[in-house]
Chains A and B, each alone.
Chain A
Amino acid sequence: MSVPSDSSLPPSTGHASDAQSAAAGLSAEPPIIEARGISKSFPGIKALDGVNLSLARGEVLCVVGENGAGKSTLMKIVGGLYTPDAGEILIDGMPAKLTSVQDAQAAGVTLIHQELNLAPSLDVAGNIFLGREPRWGGPLGLLDRRMYADAEAITRRVGLSASGRASVGSLSIGQQQLVEIARSLSLQSRVLIMDEPTSSLSQRETDRLFAVIRDLKASGVGILYISHRLPEVQLIADRVTVLRDGRNAGELRRDEISHASLVRLMIGRELKQFFVRGAAQNPAPQTPAASASSSKPDPKVNLAAPALEVTGLRVTAAQKQPITFQVKRGEIVGLAGLVGAGRTELAEALFGVRPMVAGQIRVAGELLRIRVPQDAIRAGLLLAPEDRRSQGLLLEQSVRRNISLASLLRVSRLRLIRRRQEIALAEQMCQQLSVRTVSVDKQVGLLSGGNQQKVVLARWLSREPKLLMLDEPTRGVDVGAKSEIYAIMDQLTARGVGILMISSDLEEVLGMSDRVLVMYQGELAGELQREQFSEQAVMNLATGGGA
């Protein structure tokens, strides 16, 4: 131990010193990377307040916490993107100054961003070696063919099937994620920071990634892993650090990790029931009048007609079996399948952003001809898209403008917007969906993922949805906001809205759906009723195994 201050360091929090002793007990060498007493403030908010963290060689440390808990800020500090206001980073026990991403990478620390950071027009190999291309020809800087051979070796290691010459823009989001991981592997990193790496991966790709992580562990790489997916954390973590409100909330060793213990530390209380399906249909007894009106749908509406009826839909010409299904009023139908199974494409075809080859669509019994999203929206067939940053939101604009965008005519007269009504609408929706924002005039891009998703929902709920399609509604959303979104979905169904939920999160699909449809290679592979629900059953269908 070359750092004299190590033993004399005052114990800052009980949990952290636990962790230090645990790490020290594991091996005599200093942690590969350690953060001590890190604080970081931004105007108006203290993002981190004396946070400690240490990572041993060959260890997978999961960092969990709700959005806004400070995980991302901490990771950005460790990754050299931000400089802390107080505290220090030690690498191999030596104080290190990481003032840029280059510094961090030189020290062997690589941060893989949650939002992919790839050049879509370059090929796979070009992205992996971007800025570090092997060259010959001196000042001409001509590219070396060996790059492709090197790329091949790395892509094989992460289980990416695409060729090194395939352009990254043509890959699926899941494959792009693997390219990003391949790039960081090629940097010979000793510490790999992964921020929600599996958020867009299919089950198979996730399994592959975990195999890669185990492989990296064995070769001594330390991994800081951020995830909202607790089952994953349970699967791969050697240790978990939980952050809450910018402080260390606790540490769990491998044998202490469980879903309940994680959630308890994250939110500081026990979540009795995470999935709230059916809660709104059995409202509290003290409001009998409200329960009568909300549990029994409006008698004037055609009750016999399902919310959505799709007959003989062909999304592409290559599709052999046309798709036929329905979603009843007040029903949540989960649409499961692997990434690339055609779930998003199906929703886009129904919504009119993607032309369909054939098929009939009925919403509440009415036959629709959908050519553009306006046709679908007018009929109450709404889509909250998969990629809310690029498809859902005007990131630079305010919460208010994002919410009112699809219902401006409701808050205007003679096509002139009535400002006060618009503000009232936005504020009402924010309150109803508990969007956490200082004001409705705050830029929506600055909100957390969960709140951004709620803004997308608020836009549609300010119209009258009949059938709401939610594509990955809780991706990148923290646990607290997740359960709020589930509660919102539940309340909507109590009002008779049908919901088609596309999700790659099996726990969510099984927890929230009344019925599950599984897609495989662009076609419906099967349907599961609630009593048939199991992860195995879904995965079987999703991988082409049959019911």
Chain B
Amino acid sequence: MKKLLGLALFLLLIYALLLVANPGARSAQNHQNLGQRIGLHGINSLGVGILIITGGIDLSIGSTVGLCATVMAILLVDVGMNPAAAMLVTLALGATIGLVNGLLVTRLRVQAFVVTLCGLFIYRGAARWLAGDRVKGLGNDFTTFKSLLHNQDFLGMPMSLVIFLALCALATVLLHLSVYGRYLFAVGSNEQAARYAGIAVDRYKTLAYVLCSTLAALFSVIYLAENNSVQPSETGSFFELYAIAGAVLGGCSLRGGEGSVLGIIIGTAIIWILPNFTKMWGVPSELEYTVIGGALLIGALLDELLRRRNLAKATA
């Protein structure tokens, strides 16, 4: 709880300093941009955050986004499917990818890192092959689809942020209020003890992979609506790292069994506001990755120090 409070204060601090430093940052447009990015990437952070809580990891999120966006574009443009159906197929593809990842990890006992690293290559290659390595654009068609997921505002908030917050509400119920959430945390906390307590460990681990990849597929649908085109060799690359960074900064421990939806929201917000903030203070934008990495490192160090202090305090 203290950690969340610290993170929230840090977020408020950089946000306030951002507004002070640059009048341009106060504009509605800047807020729209930030909200849109936080909302969009928050979807991936949420998915991978749940997965990390169960002790898993997914490095293939970016490639899953690339493949799903490519398939969505092909379904719309080449197959001529209606957007709602195409979206369902894309989400089903995401779920299938998650199921495959999950089964490889739970049934064949391949390490999650390896399974999803392989996925990173495989899904990217599949995307490029499917699209003939060409950019797929939506052109001026599918306006309803685009306006619903992108151009439309809801209470002044960009659509992706609205969707993200709605998902967060659902995830809060799942993770923090339901018995399933307890099982997910238990599996991440001590898989063996969870099994001895009668929890269907493999089922919940697989569920987490399915959720993570399905959310990545949802991300790809919204991303396509926002960007109007997909480049199979590029779209989504590095996004798994943003997603993991947001979740980890927000308190999801890679040891498993630790994390919260609120933390994921705050972590994601920090990841996306921080570069904006440092840019406004004159840090060259080429250093964006360095800034994110540095923030993550400092977060991890503080977390470790805090953990040690608590442990020393509690060991009596």
Contact = CB atoms under 8 A, between A and B. Distances in A.
B144 interface: no
Contact of B192 (A42, A372, A391, A443): A391
Nearest to B202: A372
Given A390-B192, A397-B257, A406 B313 contact: no
Q: Which 6 A-B pairs have the closest CB atoms?
A: A42-B316, A377-B198, A394-B189, A408-B179, A45-B316, A373-B198
B185 interface: yes
A186 interface: no
Contact of A353 (B173, B189, B196, B314): B196
Contacts of B30: none
Interface in B29-80: none
Contact of A409 (B179, B192, B194, B314): B179
Interface stretch (A208-216, A324-332, A410-418): A410-418
Given A374-B198, A392-B193, A392-B196, A401 B316 contact: no
Contact of B313 (A42, A351, A408): A42
| Contact size range, B | 20 to 34
Interface of A: 42-45, 47, 73, 351, 353, 372-374, 376-377, 383, 385, 390-397, 401, 404-406, 408-409, 412, 415-417, 443, 446, 459
Given A374-B198, A416-B177, A443-B314, A397 B185 contact: yes
Interface of B: 173, 177-180, 182, 185-186, 189-190, 192-200, 257-258, 313-316
Given A42-B315, A47-B316, A390 B179 contact: no
Given A394-B186, A417-B179, A417-B182, A353 B316 contact: no
Given A397-B185, A416-B173, A390 B193 contact: yes
Interface centre among A44, A373, A404 (most CB of B within 10 A): A373
B314 A394 contact: no
A351 B196 CA distance: 9
Contacts of A42: 313-316
A373 B196 contact: yes
Contacts of A459: 197
Contacts of A443: 314
A397 B189 contact: yes
A45 B315 CA distance: 10
Contacts of A43: 313, 316
Given A353-B196, A390-B190, A416 B178 contact: yes
B315 A446 contact: yes
Given A372-B200, A405-B182, A396 B194 contact: no
Interface centre among A397, A404, A405, A443 (most CB of B within 10 A): A405
B196 A417 contact: no
Given A390-B193, A416-B179, 20 more contacts: A42-B314, A43-B313, A44-B316, A73-B316, A351-B196, A353-B195, A353-B196, A373-B196, A392-B196, A393-B190, A394-B257, A396-B189, A397-B257, A401-B186, A405-B182, A405-B199, A406-B197, A415-B179, A416-B178, A446-B316
Given A45-B316, A393-B193, A394-B193, A415 B180 contact: yes
